[in-house]
Structure 1
Amino acid sequence: MENPSELMTTVQGYALQGWEIAKGWLVSPAAWSQFAVLVVSFVLAWLVARRVVPTLTNILTPAEDQETLFARGRRFLLIFLPLILPLLAYLFTAVGEGVIRSVFGSGVVIAFGKRLFLFLAARALVRDIVSDPFLKLLGRYVLLPIMALYTVGLLDEVSTYLNETNVALGNISFSIMSLVRGVVAGSLLFWFGRWSNDQSAAYIKRQEELRPATRQLAVKAAEIVIFGAAFLLLMNIMGIDLTTLAVLGGAIGVGLGFGLQKIASNFISGVILLLEGQATVGDFVELDGGEAGTIVRMTARAAILETYDGRWIVVPNEDFITTRVVNYSDSGSANRYEAPFSVSYDTDINKVPSIVEKAVATHKDVLDDPFPPDCELRGFGDSGIDFAVEFWVNGIDDGENKYTSDVLFLVWNALKDNGIQIPYPHRVVEFKGEMPTA
C-alpha cells in the first residue's frame, strides 16, 4: 500500500490538473459555449417540468378508494416524478452536445454537465423517492459518493487504486474493491431476499383454500429457497469457489452433532408440525407443563403462544413432539362446555330440562351440531337438586368469549320466569337438653 506522502502527492497532482483545466475553460470560447448550452438546457428542462409534472400528477393520481393493480401501478409511477427535471436537463444537454462537437470539435464541459445532471438525478432518487431506511442509507453512503466521483471524472482512478490495494489476512489476500463489492452486493441481495420473502409470504397467506399448516410450510420453504439462492449468488459474485462449501457443510454437520443438536431438533420438529398439521397458527393449545395460549406465530425454532392476559410464551417446537399437548382447535373445531346450577327441592324437576334447554338454545353461538344443548340431572345436594347443561360452541370460553357466563344468565332468567327457585344453603341445628339462657 502506498504511504501517506505518496497519496498526498497524487491528490495534489489531481488538484493542480483540475485547476489547469478550469483556467483553460475560463478563456476558451468553446467552453463558454458549452456553459451556455448547459444553462439553456437546465432552464428549458425547468420550464417543461413546470408544465409536465402537474399534468402527470393529475393523470397518474387514482381515487383514494381504488386498490386495483392498475391503480397501484399509477401510484408507483407517481413517486418517480422528481426525476423529470434532471433527466430532461440531461436529454436537452445531449441534444446540444452534438451541435457543440460539430462546431468546436470539443465537448469536455458539456460532458461534465451531463454527469452533473446524472448526479442530481441520483440525489433526487435517494432523497425523494427511496423510502426504505436501509436503501436510503445505502444510497446516501454508497451511490452518491460513487456518482460524485463519476461526476468529477475520478471514478476510474479510484477504482484502479482500490483494485491494486490488497489486504492480507494470514494466507488470504484480497483487494479493497472486492471487499467493498462484496459488502454492497451482499447488502442488496439480502435486502432483496427479505423483500421477496415478505411478498411471497403475503401472497401465500392469502391463499385461503390451503390449510394453515400447508401455508406455513410453503412460507418456510420459500424463505429457505430465497435466502439460499441469495447466499450462493453472493459467493459467486465474491469469486469464492462453491466447492469449498463442502468443507463448510462438514463443519456444520459436526456442529449439529454436538453443540447445535437442540437447534436441529427444534427445526426438524417444526417441519414435522407443519407437515402433519397437529398444531398450527390460530389453535388454542395447552402443554403438559401448564403453558396455554393461542399460537400466533410458528418459527423455525419455536412456536409463540399468546395468553389471554397479553403475555407471549415461546415454546420450543420439540415440546410439541415429545410431550403431551391438548389442542382445543380454536381454528374451527367445536368445543363442549357445561354450566352447573341447582333448583329447590320443592321444584317439579321433570320440567327443568326442557325449560333450560330451550333457553340455552337461544344463544347465538350455541350449536345444534354435533349436539344441541342437553340438561342433565347430576345429583341431590345438601341444599338443592343439582343439574348441569352441556352445550357446544366454536371457540374457547375465555378472553372475548364468555359462553358459560352467558348461559348461566339464560338459565337464571328462564328459571325465574317459570317460578323455579334457586336454593341457598340451609342448616338445621338441634339442641339436646335445655335451651341455653342469655
Structure 2
Amino acid sequence: MDNIEDLEGFVLFAIGRTPVTLGGVVTGVVIILAGFLAARILRLTIARMRGRTRHGKAALYIAEKLITYGVVIVALVVGVTTVGINLSSLAVFAGALGVGVGLGLQGVVKEFVSGLVLIFDRVLNVGDYIELADGRRGLVQEIGPRAVRVRTNDNIDLVVPNSKFIEGPVVNWTLRDSSSRIHIPFRVAYGADRNRVREVVLEAARSVPFTLPETETERSQVWLVGFGESGLDFELLVWPTLEAVKRPATMHAAYTWAIAEALECAGIEVPFAQMDVRLRGLFGHEGDDALTALRLDHPAAAARRAAPPHPMTANDAAEDLARPLPPPDEPVMEREPHSSGNRAP
C-alpha cells in the first residue's frame, strides 16, 4: 500500500505551481482511453439502429456524430484535468493551441468545422447521389470529421475534404428525394417523318421499366433541337425513377439502346458520316425515276425490302438497372471483426 501511495505521489514535473504526478498521468490516460472506447460503443450501437430503421436516418446520423464527438471531447478535458494541467490557465492553453496551429492543425480544424456544417446544414446526407465539380459522381457513404467518402457506380471510393463541399458548387441529384428530367440525344436521317419518329421514340421510352408514369407536369417528350450535318438532331426528355437517376451512365445506355432498336424496327434511318451523290436528272427523269430508267434501284428502299424483320435484342443496361442499387454501407460497421458463425441470407 505504501508503495502504491508513493507511486501516486511521485512528481514527474510541474506546470507553473501545479505538480504532475505519475498517478495522475496514469489516471488521465485511463479516462481518455475509456472515453474513446465508450464513443466507439455508442457509435456502433447507433449505427445498428440506423441500419434497421427506414425513417429518421438523418437524425440518427447527426445524433451519432454529436454523441461521439461529445464523449471524446469530455474524456479529453477530464483526462487532461486529472493529469494536473489547468485548462483555465490561458497562457498554457493559448500557447499549446498556438503551437498546434503553427504546426498545421488549422487544416484539421477547418475540415472538422466544415464537417459539422455539412451535418447540420442537411444539404448533403448519407445516401445522396452527388456530382462533383470535376464531373465525377457517386453515392455519399460517410460524412466524417475530416472528409466525405463518396462511392462511384464503378465501386471506387473517393475521399473528398469537407471544405470542398463548403467552398465550391456540388450538384445533389437526390436532395429532395424526387426524380429529375434527363435528356437523351439521338439523330435520324433527313427526310424522316418527324411525327413517326416522335411516336416510335415515346413508345420505346414508355416501355422501359424504370420510366415513371406520366403526370400533368412530368411528361415524356421528344424535341427537335437542331439540324446536323447528316441528319435531324432530336432529344428524348424523360422522367426516370430515383434509383435510375443514381446510375446515370447505365440509364443513358439503356434509353439509347431502346431508341436505336425502336428506330431500326420502324425502318427509320439513323445517319452516319458519308458522302451522297444525288442524281438530279437523266433524260428527263429525276430522282428515283432516273435510277429506274437506268434499271437501278434506290439503295435505301432496296435495303429495307431485303432486310428481314429486326428481332428484339437484349438491353443489358436496362437489365442492370432492374437490379436494385445496394444501400449505403455503414462505414463504422466495416471495422467490426467478422463473426465465425453462419450469417442470415
Q: Is the shorter-chain TM-score for this pair beyond 0.5, marking a shared fold?
A: yes
Match of 2:237 among 390, 398, 419: 390
Instruction: For residue 302 of structure 1, report the CA deviation from its aligned partner.
Output: 2.0
Correspondence 1:240 to 2:88: no
Change (3 A) 1:356 1:188: same
Supply the distance in 1 between the matched residues of 2:99 and 2:125 (Cα, whole angstroms): 30
Give the conservation status (yes or no) of the 8 Å contact 1:335–1:395: no
Match of 2:222 among 364, 368, 375: 375
Match of 1:296 among 134, 141, 160: 141
Unaligned runs of 5+ in 1: 1-155, 431-438
Supply the distance in 2 between the matched residues of 1:167 and 1:336 (Cα, whole angstroms): 71
What is the one-letter code of the residue matched to 2:166?
Answer: I
Correspondence 1:337 to 2:182: yes
Match of 2:41 among 195, 200, 221: 195
CA RMSD across the alignment = 3.5
Instruction: For residue 410 of structure 1, report the CA deviation from its aligned partner.
Output: 2.0
2:186 counterpart SS class: strand
Supply the distance in 2 between the matched residues of 1:242 and 1:208 (Cα, whole angstroms): 46
Instruction: For residue 361 of structure 1, report the CA deviation from its aligned partner.
Output: 0.9
Provide the residue aligned with 2:160 in structure 1: 315
What is the one-letter code of the residue matched to 2:84?
Answer: I
Correspondence 1:263 to 2:108: yes
Instruction: For residue 249 of structure 1, report the CA deviation from its aligned partner.
Output: 4.5
Aligned residues: 272
Change (3 A) 1:303 1:209: same
Correspondence 1:209 to 2:38: no
Supply the distance in 2 between the matched residues of 1:248 and 1:324 (Cα, whole angstroms): 40
1:166-177 → structure 2 map (5 Å cutoff) = 166-169=10-13, 176-177=22-23
Provide the residue aligned with 1:274 in structure 2: 119
With CA pairs under 8 Å and 6+ residues apart, which has the higher RCO, 1 or 2?
A: 2
Change (3 A) 1:184 1:424: closer
Supply the distance in 2 between the matched residues of 1:180 and 1:260 (Cα, whole angstroms): 26
Change (3 A) 1:188 1:271: closer
Instruction: For residue 298 of structure 1, report the CA deviation from its aligned partner.
Output: 1.0
**How big is each residue's C-alpha offset from its partner over 1:160-184, in whole Å with a ceiling of 9 and x where there is no partner?**
56446x2533667555544444444
Supply the distance in 2 between the matched residues of 1:336 and 1:245 (Cα, whole angstroms): 59
1:79-118 → structure 2 map (5 Å cutoff) = none
Correspondence 1:412 to 2:260: yes
Provide the residue aligned with 2:68 in structure 1: 223
Give the conservation status (yes or no) of the 8 Å contact 1:204–1:218: no
Give the conservation status (yes or no) of the 8 Å contact 1:303–1:315: yes
Give the conservation status (yes or no) of the 8 Å contact 1:189–1:234: no
Provide the residue aligned with 2:197 in structure 1: 352
- The higher radius of gyration belongs to 1
Instruction: For residue 374 of structure 1, report the CA deviation from its aligned partner.
Output: 0.9
Change (3 A) 1:204 1:240: farther
Q: Percent of pairs identical after alignment?
A: 25
Change (3 A) 1:207 1:310: closer
Give the conservation status (yes or no) of the 8 Å contact 1:344–1:383: yes
Change (3 A) 1:324 1:186: closer
What is the one-letter code of the residue matched to 1:250?
Answer: A
Give the conservation status (yes or no) of the 8 Å contact 1:197–1:223: yes
Provide the residue aligned with 1:33 in structure 2: none
Give the conservation status (yes or no) of the 8 Å contact 1:217–1:271: no
Change (3 A) 1:268 1:157: closer
Supply the distance in 2 between the matched residues of 1:210 and 1:329 (Cα, whole angstroms): 17
What is the one-letter code of the residue matched to 1:193?
Answer: A
Change (3 A) 1:310 1:235: same
Change (3 A) 1:250 1:408: same
Give the conservation status (yes or no) of the 8 Å contact 1:357–1:375: yes
Provide the residue aligned with 1:139 in structure 2: none
Supply the distance in 2 between the matched residues of 1:228 and 1:201 (Cα, whole angstroms): 20
Higher share in helix: 1
Supply the distance in 1 between the matched residues of 2:13 and 2:2 (Cα, whole angstroms): 25
Give the conservation status (yes or no) of the 8 Å contact 1:205–1:215: no
Supply the distance in 2 between the matched residues of 1:249 and 1:215 (Cα, whole angstroms): 34
Give TM-score scaled by structure 2 length: 0.64
Instruction: For residue 245 of structure 1, report the CA deviation from its aligned partner.
Output: 6.3
Give the conservation status (yes or no) of the 8 Å contact 2:184–2:252: yes
Supply the distance in 2 between the matched residues of 1:234 and 1:162 (Cα, whole angstroms): 19
Supply the distance in 1 between the matched residues of 2:67 and 2:50 (Cα, whole angstroms): 10
1:217 counterpart SS class: helix
Supply the distance in 1 between the matched residues of 2:257 and 2:152 (Cα, whole angstroms): 26
1:32-51 → structure 2 map (5 Å cutoff) = none
Instruction: For residue 226 of structure 1, report the CA deviation from its aligned partner.
Output: 1.6
Give TM-score scaled by structure 1 length: 0.52
1:350 counterpart SS class: helix
